[in-house]
Amino acid sequence: MNASTASLQTGTHDVLGVCPHDCPDTCSLVTTVQDGVAIKVHGNPAHPHTNGALCTKVSRYTERTYHPERLLHPLKRVGPKGPGARFERVGWDEALGAIAERLQALCDDPTAGPEAILPYSYAGTMGLVQGDGMAQRFMHKLGASLLDRTVCAAAGAEALTLTLGTKRGMGVEHFADAKLILVWGSNPITSSVHFWRYAQEAKRRGARLVCIDPRRSETAERCHEHIALLPGTDAALALALMHELITHDWLDHDYIAHYTEGFAALRERALQWTPERAAAVCGIEAQQIRDLAAEYAATARRGEGAAIRLNYGMQRVRGGGNAVRAVACLPALVGAWRVPSGGMLLSSSGNFAADKATLQRPDLLGARKPRTVNMSDIGNSLCHAGGDGFGPRIRAVVVYNSNPVAIAPDSSKVVQGFAREDLFTVVLEHFQTDTADYADYLLPATTQLEHWDIHTAYGHTDVQLNRPAIAPLGEAKSNAQIFRELAARMGFDEACFHDSDETMCRQAFGATIDFDTLLRQGFFTLPTAAAPFAQGGFGTPSGRCEFDSRVLRARGLDGLPDHVPNYEPAGADPHYPLAMISPPARNFLNSSFVNVSSLQALEKEPVLEMHPTDAQARGIADGQMVRVFNARGETHCRARVGGRARRGVVNGLGVWWRKLGANGTNVNELTHQGLTDLGGGPCFYDCAVEVQSL
């Protein structure tokens, strides 16, 4: 079935697909279609990980696809940029012709050139085709600036690769057999519901669950213990756990000797971190550290599963890379990797060998070496005048699969950049988002129910195929089709620009997977080892778990993990004494789903969670509107005073569109553009603020 014929079937039938959103579960979907209309989206019961269940957000996907404010036609802006921007309907020929003309003019301009054009995208869809397939082919042929896509997971990804040599870990299904699970920097009830199903199964079998998170999340409430450390102090906690493992000789010396490198140096570093020292840094009790270390070691010594489910929240601070490195060392110290139910999982994405060279065609660059722009620094980059080693000023931005005005840090600076009258902006979207308000041309993109795509995952090891369930609504086109047609107007005549979306799905893995299996059941499970590092086999230069990283030392950096304090630690600045983190609201996914009426009704409005002591000191009552501010800006929220926030920390749940905020801003008005120690990622959870009543 192709997208153009999807609506021609009459009667009721089911179509297999896959959730496109940025979540480790990557659920298998079944869309029920009646006479060409999608009437229900539900979980695929035949897919073991999905097991027939979806999160609340994606179960409302038809509401998103048929939303009354869905963009269905190309639009051209006819008034000023910014909130309330006015657009008029134009035809595809006019829109694509004008865009191609502007891009070509920049390419031909000796003061600009193709590097003055920047693509900006992330994970509005995680698909390999509608994400960065045809779009990358187009941008590579054009010679546009490259984008370093760091905004979510860069620090953790680099840290994992430096330590383990790969982005792999435990099979998620093996958590069901663990006896101790540390849920570290994660709220799976919101962000990974199917992992939580395995954790609950383990709990029913007698496992103990410990949540390590500054916020008393929905997950923390359902664990046996909650360790509410201060933001950005995870490495200190991990090093103190190592201190206890070493001083009590709770180590697997055989595993360390055969499968690790740098233990002597790590031992020296860890012995500096007594539980008392770490407790003072983390804002917790030293006895919690001692007890957790003892329990972790005892579980591993019994040959039972001591498992860590790490997620990306903890790496969104200045020292996030070091923190992930420190935690990733723990399983090797106690030999937890020896059994399938022990070890750690941050990402499974290293299991997938997609043929990105064929999908994205970097060879189309030829000998050109365009600059790379970090997406987490987009505010500064758009405001840069050019020169001074930066290269030409950015004169055009093509945005797809992202909403940078809402989700990028230091959003007042991002707004300043997008508001430039000399910046030509094209946005591919489903809705008129905050970023769309600054577009010169707004192009209607298909949703997941309307196009082909193929997906990997970072929470399991199944390749999945998305088939179009319905025809595109209105004049919407897939991302790939839009870039395909732009390529034609730019005169790009390489054969790859004629590949259909389905063809690109087939190219993604070539003969390494059975595409007929994908067509038949929607997923293909990659063969993986039950205990991937039971006998070493790490992908590092040494082939071992590198406590002391050879790669970092070759860069002239400290090869050992350490605690790197936040740029803006809690209590350090008397003007802004509160640390703010901004985890996602339960019914949103970054800025996606924010405008879905039923989900918006559940969240109601932007909220700031406060500890009663902090609220009382400021004369703030539960339910009161408050001003949250620092030197970068302010946002207005409804105060929720209670047990979710620990003392000294406030939780600004996000990410609301700015235009839906009480004062036209959101929490990213307060975040900064400082980058993480590794990977160049953003520091969303490294932010000092003050709060006042309104």
pLDDT in tens, 561-606: 999 999 999 999 999 999 999 998 888 878 888 888 888 888 999 9
Rounded-to-integer distance, Cα 563 and Cα 468, Å: 48
Q: What is the dihedral of CA 458, 170, 203, 25, to 10 degrees?
A: 10
pTM for the whole structure:
0.97
- Average pLDDT of span 275-286: 98
pLDDT at res. 257: 98
One-letter amino acid identity for 397?
A: V
pLDDT, tens digit, for every residue of 592-647?
Answer: 888 888 888 889 999 999 999 999 999 999 999 999 999 999 999 999 999 999 99
DSSP string, 606-643: -EEEE-HHHHHHTT--TT-EEEEEETTEEEEEEEEESS
Contacts 24+ apart (CB under 8 A), 58-64: 58/19, 58/21, 58/27, 58/29, 60/593, 60/596, 60/598, 60/599, 61/29, 61/447, 61/448, 61/449, 62/38, 62/449, 63/596, 63/597, 63/598, 64/430, 64/447, 64/593, 64/596
**Residue 116's pLDDT band (cuts 50, 70, 90):** very high
What confidence tens digit (pLDDT) does each residue in 478-528 have? 999 999 999 999 999 999 999 999 999 999 999 999 999 999 999 999 999
Give one DSSP letter per residue of 466-480, joined into a string: E---SPPSTT-B-HH
Q: Which whole number is the average pLDDT over 650-669? A: 95
| SS3 state at 246 | helix
Contact 590, 582 (CB under 8 A): no
Q: Taking the CA of residue 35 as centre, how many other CA atoms within 13 Å lie in the half-sphere pointing to its CB?
A: 0
pLDDT in tens, 362-388: 999 999 999 999 999 999 999 999 999
Check residue 586 and give its pLDDT: 86
Query: Average pLDDT over the chain, rounded to whole?
Result: 96
pLDDT in tens, 199-231: 999 999 999 999 999 999 999 999 999 999 999
Q: What is the separation of C-alpha 37 from the centre of its chain, rounded to a whole number of angstroms?
A: 31
Starting at the edge strand found earlier in the chain, the sheet holding 462-466 runs 453-455, 462-466, 523-525
Please state whether beta strands 117-121 and 180-184 pair in parallel, antiparallel, or not at all (unpaired): unpaired
Residue 232, token pair as written in the block: 């950005």
Is pLDDT of 660 > 60?
yes
Q: Is 497 exposed, middle or buried (0-12, 13-18, 19+ CB in 10 A)?
A: buried
For the record, the structure tokens of 39 come out as 């009437």
pLDDT at 261: 98
The 10s digit of each residue's pLDDT in 540-551 is 999 999 999 999
Task: Check whether the bond before 655 is cis (ω within 30° of 0).
Answer: yes
| CA-based max dimension of the chain | 73
* Pairing label, strands 441-444, 424-429: parallel
**Residue type (1 letter), 427:** V
